[in-house]
Structure 1
């Protein structure tokens, strides 16, 4: 049987039971690792359990089909922030990872002293975690730096769980859409400056999804070209006039 993980032993057991469509009475539980708490997600290790199906004695009586409850889409932790997941199917391993990531982000924001609830929207491979809080500025940070840092942690989490095909986005209010419009205006202004001064213009370092917005905004402008330089996380866009 495979190992099942969670940020607590109880959560690891719940995740395993969800995947197996079983109850606690149906399995023998062995705790392999109790997990380890970290600080702001650093050094944190998950609990691991092994679930083995109990061998049921044969019964000559006819037994009807067993029915299993499908877990609801609202996931709540006692005394924790609300994490709501809107998806049709929550009984496979990918959905368990998505839910666990919500818990992981909730733990981090709690340690930051930010009260928030998290709504998870999944459409195919796109997953958006929307934070609902009255402390938006503290969670976003200057030019989105704190929110972007949280997104890097979330992406690293998915990579460790072999879910790299998922496209992840963290949002607060309508920050991402407003930021997109700001970057598109910035791209046009920088292009004008580059043409007027007849020289390259270097933008500040940005995460990859924001650099893509700059490239897309100027893709149809035949007077300039854009390209990225530097290494993550200090990679930046250059806008250069074409002769």
Structure 2
């Protein structure tokens, strides 16, 4: 936990000095006033300055955002990071130019980054929060692509009367395929194989 104690003529001045040293703003810290300033005799002798303790807040959301900002800075990427948070999860939307390097082949780099941020941000917190990362709405576009693929391959399985085997996918993408086809009465889906090579089979009903 980062914290500093600072003294100055006023509480506000002491807080400002501490914030500059921590390189944080007020909504990222907790402020404890240790001593109020006092005036000396006739306003000249024996006065005491204000003294404050400024403590950096710690929670999964702040920790995750700080980690993401540090990664982007290290990679010389200029981005805008926006967060949407509820009691169960935090979703970070990352926008900026030339971010394909963070997505990788079929989102593999993005998934790996999301995994690492989840581990780091939730470390030593009793209540964990699920952290989701998206870049330039990639996940939404990928979901639409997978749904279209599911419909097309389901029609193919029905027309040919035999199973269609999809390429290996992660659990999130497999869930999209299963959900897209769960109301079809003419086919059914199931998964087989072990991670990371687990794949979906679309099978026509006899």
TM-score by length of 2: 0.66
Counterpart Cα distance in 2 of 1:155 and 1:232: 20
Q: Distance in 1 between matches of 2:147 and 2:121?
A: 29
SS in 1 for 2:166: strand
Runs of 5+ consecutive residues of structure 2 not aligned to the other structure: 3-20, 36-52
2:170 aligned with 1:183, yes or no?
no
Alignment equivalent of 1:173, drawn from 136, 148, 159 = 136
Whether the 8 Å CA contact 2:157–2:202 is kept in 1: the answer is: yes
Which of residues 133, 138, 143 is equivalent to 2:106? 143
Shift of 1:183: 0.9
Task: Provide the C-alpha distance between the structure 2 equivalents of 1:163 and 1:203, rounded to a whole number of angstroms.
Answer: 39
Kindly name which structure, 1 or 2, has the bigger radius of gyration based on alpha carbons: 2
TM-score, with normalisation over the residues of structure 1? Answer: 0.57
Deviation, structure 1 residue 221: 0.6
Is the contact between residue 164 and residue 203 of structure 2 (CA under 8 Å) also seen in structure 1?
yes
Is residue 115–residue 135 contact of structure 1 (8 Å, CA) maintained in 2?
Answer: no
Which of 228, 231, 234 is matched with 2:194 structurally?
231
Q: Which moved more, 1:122-131 or 1:212-221?
A: 122-131
**Distance in 1 between the 2:100 and 2:156 partners?**
30
1:111-132 deviation digits (Å, cap 9, x = unpaired):
4443323111112313111112
Q: Which residue does 2:90 correspond to in 1?
A: 127
C-alpha distance in 2 between matches for 1:229 and 1:135: 36
Distance 1:234 1:159 in 2: 28
Structure 1 unaligned spans of 5+: 27-67, 72-90
> 1:212 aligns to what?
175
Classify 1:124/1:159 alpha carbon distance in 2 versus 1 (closer, same or farther; 3 Å): closer
1:48-76 superposed Cα distances (whole Å, 9 cap, x missing partner): xxxxxxxxxxxxxxxxxxxx99x9xxxxx
Which residue number in structure 1 is paired with residue 69 of structure 2? 106
- Structure 1: how far apart are the matches of 2:161 and 2:62? 50
How far apart are the structure 1 equivalents of 2:34 and 2:171? 48
How well do the aligned residues superpose, as a CA RMSD in angstroms?
Answer: 3.3
Aligned mates of 1:231, 1:111 — CA distance in 2 = 35
